[in-house]
């Protein structure tokens, strides 16, 4: 790890520890604005009760504090409380059905739909890079890393097509497990990218909606003032 990288690693850990300390002392309030908007949205738009609101989170946290004398919320518990929310696509699509003008997050690209599921849909990057930590990335913007050429012309998933019943030796089973893991990681990699893209789109949409609502609010206030002026009796 480079010096800068190590420094950032230490800094990140310190920041994380600091955040945990702060959060444990803030009545369980959430500092993440995205999570805040999502929770608030969940309460107002979908009406689902599976995800606690901010107030509920705070209440739960306070209850925990009373239970734990030190007042330190277990990070795992917080994670359980805050972890699950509906997908951005779902939230936004529900929102768009309620409010005209709110764009929907589009479904998967047609080119992906045109391919068979699972194995054949695996998108294999043209260039796969291996980082210094052994990670792989397909961004293509890291020239300092050596290019790791694909071992075969076919996606790895194609090899996965072999039926498990044909595997006998422990070595074959191990290879199969490794391939399954690599396939899962690759799929999850792509899913994470897509998820982040949706999240950005979702946040943009919320921001634009805030702007629209602010304008509407301003207009209504002005209208109210005008009506007040009209309706109020003249004193002189």
Partner DNA sequence: TACGTCCAACGTCAAGGTCA
Partner DNA sequence: TGACCTTGACGTTGGACGTA
Q: Taking CB under 7 A as the rule, does residue 109 contact DNA?
A: no
Q: Is 129 helix (H, G, I), strand (E, B) or coil?
A: strand
Find the DSSP H helices in 68-166: 75-83, 88-98, 110-113, 156-159
Quick check: 5 binds DNA (CB under 7 A)? yes
Which three-class secondary structure state does DSSP give residue 178?
helix
The burial class, CB within 10 Å (0-12 / 13-18 / 19+), for 195 is middle
| Pair 1, 132: CB distance under 8 Å | yes
Calpha distance 84→81 (Å, rounded): 8
Residue 173: CB partners within 8 Å, gap ≥ 6? 167
Q: Choose, by CB under 7 A, the member of 33, 44, 115, 132 that binds DNA.
A: 132
> 199 or 209, CB closer to DNA?
199
One of 126, 144, 163, 169 touching DNA (CB under 7 A): 144
- Among positions 42, 60, 73, 186, the unique one binding DNA when judged by CB under 7 A: 186
Which one-letter DSSP state was computed for residue 70? T
| Residue 179 contacts DNA per CB under 7 A | no
Q: Which stretch binds DNA (CB under 7 A): 65-73, 81-89, 205-213, 224-232?
A: 81-89
The burial of 28, by beta-carbon neighbours within 10 Å (0-12 exposed, 13-18 middle, 19 or more buried), is given as: buried
Per rule CB under 7 A, count of chain residues that contact DNA? 60
33 near DNA, judged by CB under 7 A: no
Q: Can residue 11 be called a binding residue for DNA (CB under 7 A)?
A: yes
Q: Which stretch binds DNA (CB under 7 A): 62-70, 170-178, 193-201, 204-212?
A: 193-201
When binding is defined by CB under 7 A, the residue of 102, 124, 137, 209 that contacts DNA is 137
Binding site for DNA (CB under 7 A): 1-9, 11-13, 16, 20, 32, 35, 38, 50, 75, 78-80, 82-90, 117-118, 131-133, 135-139, 141-145, 185-189, 191-196, 198-200
């Amino acid at each position: 790890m480079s010096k800068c990288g190590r420094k950032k690693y230490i800094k990140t850990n310190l920041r994380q520890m600091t955040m945990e300390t702060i959060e444990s002392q803030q009545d369980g309030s959430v500092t993440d604005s995205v999570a805040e908007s999502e929770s608030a949205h969940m309460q107002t738009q979908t009406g689902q009760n599976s995800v606690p609101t901010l107030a509920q989170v705070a209440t739960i946290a306070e209850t925990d504090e009373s239970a734990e004398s030190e007042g330190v919320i277990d990070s795992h518990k917080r994670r359980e409380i805050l972890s699950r929310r509906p997908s951005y696509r779902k939230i936004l699509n529900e929102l768009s059905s309620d409010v005209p003008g709110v764009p929907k997050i589009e479904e998967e690209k047609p080119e992906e739909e045109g391919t068979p599921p699972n194995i054949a849909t695996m998108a294999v990057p043209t260039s796969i890079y291996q980082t210094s930590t052994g990670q792989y990335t397909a961004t293509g913007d890291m020239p300092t890393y050596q290019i790791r050429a694909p071992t075969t012309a076919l996606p790895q998933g194609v090899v996965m097509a072999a039926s498990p019943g044909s595997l006998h030796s422990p070595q074959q089973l191990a290879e199969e497990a490794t391939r399954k893991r690599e396939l899962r990681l690759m799929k999850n990699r792509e899913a994470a990218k897509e998820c982040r893209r949706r999240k950005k789109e979702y946040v943009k949409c919320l921001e634009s909606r805030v702007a629209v609502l602010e304008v509407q609010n301003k207009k209504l206030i002005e209208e109210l003032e005008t009506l007040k002026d009209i309706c109020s009796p003249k004193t002189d």
